Structure 1
Amino acid sequence: MAEQTIPCMLMRGGTSKGPYLRLTDMPDDRDQLAELLMKIMGAGHELQIDGLGGGNSLTSKVALVGPSRSQDADVEYLFAQVGTTKKSVDFSPNCGNMLAGVAPFAIESGLVYAQDGKTTVRIKNLNTNKVIHSTVHTPGKRVQYQGDVTISGTNSAGSPIELTFLDVAGAKTGKLFPTGNVKDVIDGVSVTCIDAATPVMIIHGDSLGKTGHETPSELDADEIFMQRLEELRRKAGLLMGMGDVSNMVIPKPILVSVPKEEGIICARYFVPDRCHKALAVTGSIAIVNALCIQGTVAQEVVNCALGTSEFKLEHPTGYIDLTANWLDGQVQSVSLVRTAKPIFSGLVYIN
């Protein structure tokens, strides 16, 4: 039997990395798709030795991109979080970092025709059914990757990719506050359960005996803390109407604290079984929305002035800057800048 090959482009998108594949090359059945992606990434081995994965949750991600079936978007994007040591695929979350590479990939693949100067691609995320606008620099109608923008968590500069997330409230649950409260108490711990771009559970670091400035490795090494965090996450999932989330990566836990250096708030974001070395785009958007609403855990930690538009969030390797776009006293969209870098384009072998 001949080996199967599939066209593939490996890219760094924001602070993540993974293959970008065409949806039209993939099976429609989700179980069959999951099996295929586990083979492509090498799930089930700590080094993902038989696949493209890098042995870390941030480098075991897949972006699947295809033509849009709706008039409000140019392309569709399905994100998959593939397990490393565990053979698993989770289609429930969106990934804003991998999203940074979707517009460049769509242009390179011929799904979208580039304009001279800048090209805005309307992307419908199939994980959340939300639309994001991505503006890419395309001088001479070609994607420009080189530039002088450096984002924390990467070591190479690139051309800015402007992402605007529209209608972020209720990405998975249909409600900004799925529990009906801006703050809940789970096992004596105050939490904010908010669904904006992605569902998260926000906790003040002090509530779990942490400063919130620990390194990711320090937090990962504290087994008692990590177990406690997971217990709270699962109970938050139930409160948010998501059922048993033990085999899902959402809701994501976020520890918040007063910033150590600069920025409006400090965050430690979990994915969820280990601490992110930076801060996910979708998690950042959830934090911004929480900061904009009176009475949330995040807003109480730093007493953020309502109506604030510019946000600098501190994370383990630097900062992420976001802009909240207000209308009639409510956040209508959130924008930020990412970069992307192509690594290779070719065929991935399936056997």
Structure 2
Amino acid sequence: MKQNAVPCTVYRGGTSRGVFFKESDLPKSKSAQEQIFMSAMDAYNPSQVNGLGSGTSHTSKVIVIHETDSEQACLAYTFYQVGIGEAIVDSAGTCGNLMAAVGAYAIDEGLAKVPSADGMCDVTVLNHNINRLVRIEVPIVDGAAQVDGDYLMAGIVHTGAKISVSILSPGGGKTGTTFPAEMRSELVADEQKFSVTISDIVNPFIFVNAQDFGLDGSESNDILSQNQHLLTQLETLRVQGAVSAGMAETIEAAKEVPSIPKIALVAPPRDYFTTSGVEVKAEEIDIIARMISMGKFHRTFAGSGLYNLASTLLIDGTIPNDCYTSSEQKQLQNIRIGHPDGIAEVTVELTEDGKDVAAVGLDRTARRILEGQCYVPSWL
């Protein structure tokens, strides 16, 4: 039998890449949809050689675009994280990087109202994963999302047109509260207690102090990835944290959802060298962070994690706040996060009492890479 063809588009957004499908082009069956997603990425092979994935969590992603009746949003969408060497399709979390690409998609597909002249276009979309509105400022040229520009973001070699993403009232999208287990809680790995902060902002994250594991936080991904004991400890804490936050009833149930909560090591600023060999000075950043996604250390840092970490860092009593030395207590701040391949800057607006987040924003670039058909083998 010949393969079945499904229309799709491929975008890069930030440091992630995803395959975009329209809901109207997909079968009604959820199971059939998931088979298409896994085939598109090749969830079955760790190398993902038989699909469009690249064997990394930030390139094994799918976006499904939905029509919406919302008067505030021009489209709605759902994000899916697809397994790598595992037949998994997970919509429990979301992707902060691909939000920029969703904005570009809305322009390119004629779903957003585009001004007649070149300039900026405000796009509002609804993210079904977190049930939040996302406002995206997309530069346009000749009626399409602009690609060329002078904005350089860490993790991307070439400059591009800056796209500004802002998520409104981002706290509690999954658990109903920004801190589902108080500001701090204690979890246990190898009979050792670790103090953690579980924060649900855009995507739920567990933050732990790198120094509690004998690390200074500036270690490279190559070094961290070879430390199997560390990986095992962090996964133990991750699944315990899911139960503590009420995201899973049992440890076994938590293991079945590998995408969230994610877990990250944080540390106070210090000098370090990026993956690309560029030196980052301590005075250039507010915190150092390394995160795990789908069992592997992330090449940079997930966009959703940047939103979460920057917000949590500003709130007194959290683990990230311990690493923050600034005495400023402004309602609107720009936070600089040092990740393995550079520096990311996140704008955070706190509520008036300083105990929660009103909005969180991030500048990204995006590019439409491919438009065509994804072929699905008949054996699926």
TM-score range, shorter chain: over 0.9
Identify which of 274, 277, 287 aligns with 1:265.
287
Runs of 5+ consecutive residues of structure 2 not aligned to the other structure: 271-280
The question of whether the paired residues in 1 share the 8 Å contact of 2:307 and 2:362 is answered with no
Distance 1:304 1:28, change over 3 A: farther
Deviations 1:74-114 (A, max 9, x none): 11111111112111111111101111111111222232232
Aligned pairs for 1:1-351 (under 5 A) are 1-115=1-115, 116=117, 117-179=119-181, 181-187=182-188, 188-243=193-248, 244-248=253-257, 249-260=259-270, 261=281, 262-305=284-327, 306-307=329-330, 309-330=333-354, 331-351=357-377
Task: Tell me the amino acid that sits aligned with residue 293 of structure 2.
Answer: V
Counterpart code for 2:185: D
SS of the counterpart of 1:33?
helix
Any idea what the Cα deviations from partners look like across 1:22-70, whole Å, max 9, x if unmatched? 1221234433221110011111112222211112111111111222232
Of stretches 272-281 and 192-201 in structure 1, the one that deviates more from structure 2 is 272-281
Tell me, yes or no, if the aligned pair for 2:153 and 2:364 is still in contact at 8 Å: yes
Q: Bigger CA drift: 234-243 or 216-225?
A: 216-225
Aligned residues with identical type, % of pairs: 30
Structure 1 residue 145 displacement after superposition: 0.7
For 1:153 and 1:140, locate their aligned partners in 2 and report how far apart those are by CA, in whole Å: 28
Matched residues in 1 for 2:141 and 2:108: separation? 14
Instruction: Provide the rounded CA distance (Å) in 2 between the counterparts of 1:287 and 1:271.
Output: 15
- TM-score, normalised to structure 1's length? 0.96
Answer yes or no: is the 8 Å Cα contact 2:107–2:143 preserved in 1.
no
Deviates more, 1:260-269 or 1:225-234: 260-269
Distance 1:304 1:90 in 2: 38
Residues 216 and 274, structure 1, Cα contact 8 Å, conserved in 2: no
The residue type paired with residue 184 of structure 2 is K
With 21-30 and 318-327 compared, the bigger mean Cα shift is at 21-30
Shift of 1:268: 0.4
Give the Cα separation in 1 of the matches to 2:60 and 2:120. Answer: 30
Distance 1:129 1:28 in 2: 22
What are structure 1's unaligned runs of at least 5 residues? none
Superposed displacement of residue 327, structure 1: 4.2
Q: Distance in 2 between matches of 1:10 and 1:42?
A: 15
- C-alpha distance in 2, partners of 1:294/1:303? 12
SS of residue matched to 2:35: helix
1:9 CA drift (Å): 1.4
Query: How many Å separate the matches in 2 of 1:218 and 1:59?
Result: 22
> Counterpart of 1:101 in 2: which secondary structure?
helix
- Give the counterpart letter for 1:258 in structure 2: P
Q: Distance in 2 between matches of 1:112 and 1:5?
A: 27
The CA deviation at 1:311 is: 0.6
Could you tell me which amino acid in structure 1 is paired with residue 186 of structure 2? V
1:252-281 deviation per Cα after TM superposition (whole angstroms, max 9, x unaligned): 101000122221001001104111111111
AA of the residue aligned to 1:324: V
Distance 1:289 1:186 in 2: 22
Partners of 1:202 and 1:97 lie apart in 2 by 20
User: In the TM superposition, what is the alpha-carbon distance from 1:2 to its structure 2 partner?
Assistant: 4.7
Measure, in 1, the Cα distance between the counterparts of 2:47 and 2:304: 27
Q: Distance in 2 between matches of 1:199 and 1:214?
A: 24
Whether contact under 8 Å (1:120, 1:133) holds in the other structure is yes
Amino acid at match of 1:17: R
